[in-house]
Amino acid sequence: MRGETMAGEQSWTPAPENTLESLLHALQMFDGIEFDIRITADNQLMIHHDRTVSVPPSYLEGKPTWVEEWTHDELVELGFLSFEAFLDDSTVQRLWRDEGRMGCIEIKRPHPKAKSGGGFFGRKEHNKHVAEAMRLAEEALDEREIPRENTVFYAFHRGMPASAQLSATKRPWAALIPYIPPYGTRQTQRLQVLPQFITTPFKRLVKQHRSQGSSMLPCAVEYFQSSTRHLPLGRHVGLKGAALNRLTRARKGMPTYVWPTKLWMEHDLLRAGMTGLTDHADPDLRWLPSGHARWLQPAIRPLMDTEWEQLETANQANHLDLLNTLENETPTWAEADISRRRALVSEMRKRWQWDMDVDDLLKTYSGVTPPSYAPRLIGHRGSGKTSRPVLNLQSM
């Protein structure tokens, strides 16, 4: 959603996804960001979502088909962002390292036909590829002292536990389930995913992640949309009433990231104790279609229940004044004293049935990074998914 001026002119447009401008905007606006990494032909990491290089076709004539067959310098020359260049930005380091922002790093597997793709049945090669991406990323993150507790690796990869073991990563990780293969069209991918979704009710999804050793629970938005939430076999979950109670009991406080969340459910999702990955980073969007004021940093600047209640009494006429007051008067997690931190953790732990003791939580998260259990708002691919090609070089 974009801001509109009184004359109907567009007032804000997101920068192309996964670019430095897009990532910085979201990193400053929200609790953190999500972005995608791929390994180049010369074994370096680039921030790029698609399997093919997302530029106009005229720039690809005579070039390799897959991103992984391009070198780091070739992709940078086109305008794409390398992982290390992103990490070397001083604002990124300040926000991610020093102010507790979250970084969700999705590792992309190459198409099976790519030179490094391992073929359609090369499970060992697939595991090694994802492990190498984790190893390279962790090495770069460690070098810049990005905290382990505010980073997570995940991937649409059945062998994620094996890859995590191969990489010897010390950072949180999880598989993305249902699994979407790195080939096919959007339509054929959805057809492949549907049987997995139908046979994986939310409670079973939680059990799968716990049995794999996942540190968090990535969760498709379809589990909560009215048009799809009844499709999985078994009892459905939701964001209100008995369905919310089933959700809370099933996940037992496990950090749950919903991708990509919708504006109409954003408030209820956060109040259910879950994290939303959002495509909506318009700074002027402060009133949600659900009829709620929009709180942009529920983890970095967490609210007590009484403060959430103030937000819920806001109307469209006074919500900006109330948001401004709360933002000026509410300390961040880093600024909060021990008594406020204890009160916040106690309320959240009781409301969402966290399984960790209050004192242990306060000890573990004694620095600037909020508890991993806390709900967050995360910028999807930075400031949101954008149209193709991502870089329209003819207009640059």
Q: Quick one: average pLDDT of 364-383? A: 97
Last residue in a domain, options 285, 319, 336: 285
Q: What is the CATH number of the domain that holds 58?
A: 3.20.20.190
Pair (45, 159) in one structural domain: yes
Q: pLDDT by residue (tens digit) across 132-187?
A: 999 999 999 999 999 999 999 999 999 999 999 999 999 999 999 999 999 999 89
Give the count of domains, the chain. Answer: 3
Give helix 123-143 / helix 160-167 axis angle, nearest 10°. Answer: 50
E strands, the chain, are: 32-39, 45-47, 81-82, 102-107, 151-155, 173-175, 217-220, 256-259, 275-278, 377-380
pLDDT at position 394, please?
A: 67
Pair (160, 18) in one structural domain: yes
pLDDT at position 11, please?
A: 83
Alpha-carbon distance of 309 to 305, in angstroms, equals 6
Q: Quick one: average pLDDT of 325-334? A: 97
Q: pLDDT by residue (tens digit) across 340-361?
A: 999 999 999 999 999 999 999 9
Asked whether the predicted pLDDT for residue 8 surpasses 50, the reply is no
Instruction: Note down the domain range covering 357.
Output: 301-363
DSSP, residue by residue, 209-271: HHHHT-SSEEEEGGGTSTTTTT-SSS----SSHHHHHHHHHHHTT--EEEET--HHHHHHHHH
Last residue in a domain, options 176, 193, 225: 176
Pair (67, 133) in one structural domain: yes
Q: Is 293 helix (H, G, I), strand (E, B) or coil?
A: strand
Single out the residue of 177, 211, 212, 172 nearest to residue 197, CA to CA: 177
Residues making up the chain, counted from first to last: 396
Asked whether the predicted pLDDT for residue 10 surpasses 70, the reply is no
Do the domain assignments include residue 261?
Answer: yes
CA-to-CA dists, residue 169 to 46, 136, 179, 240, 283, angstroms:
19, 10, 22, 37, 35
Alpha-carbon distance of 96 to 116, in angstroms, equals 31
Q: pLDDT by residue (tens digit) across 222-277?
A: 999 999 999 999 999 999 999 999 999 999 999 999 999 999 999 999 999 999 99
pLDDT at position 7, please?
A: 38
Pair (151, 254) in one structural domain: no
Within 8 A by CB and 6+ apart from 194, the residues are none
Q: Residue 56 has which token pair? A: 């106009």
Any bridge partners for residue 219, and if so which?
Answer: 258
Q: What percent of the chain has pLDDT over 70?
A: 97
Q: Is 32 helix (H, G, I), strand (E, B) or coil?
A: strand
Alpha-carbon distance of 297 to 359, in angstroms, equals 24
Pair (241, 153) in one structural domain: no
Pair (194, 320) in one structural domain: no
Pair (334, 188) in one structural domain: no
pLDDT at position 5, please?
A: 38
pLDDT at position 3, please?
A: 41
Do the domain assignments include residue 6?
Answer: no
Q: Which residue pairs, CB below 8 angstroms and at least 24 apart, start in 354-363?
A: 354/252, 354/253, 355/252, 355/253, 356/253, 362/338
Q: Quick one: average pLDDT of 190-204? A: 95
Q: Quick one: average pLDDT of 205-221? A: 97
Pair (203, 65) in one structural domain: no
Helix (H) or strand (E) holding 26: helix 20-29
Q: pLDDT by residue (tens digit) across 39-86?
A: 999 999 999 999 999 999 999 999 999 999 999 999 999 999 999 999
Pair (193, 273) in one structural domain: yes
Do the domain assignments include residue 290?
Answer: no
pLDDT at position 53, please?
A: 98
Pair (85, 25) in one structural domain: yes
Do the domain assignments include residue 373?
Answer: no
> What's the whole-number average pLDDT of the chain?
95
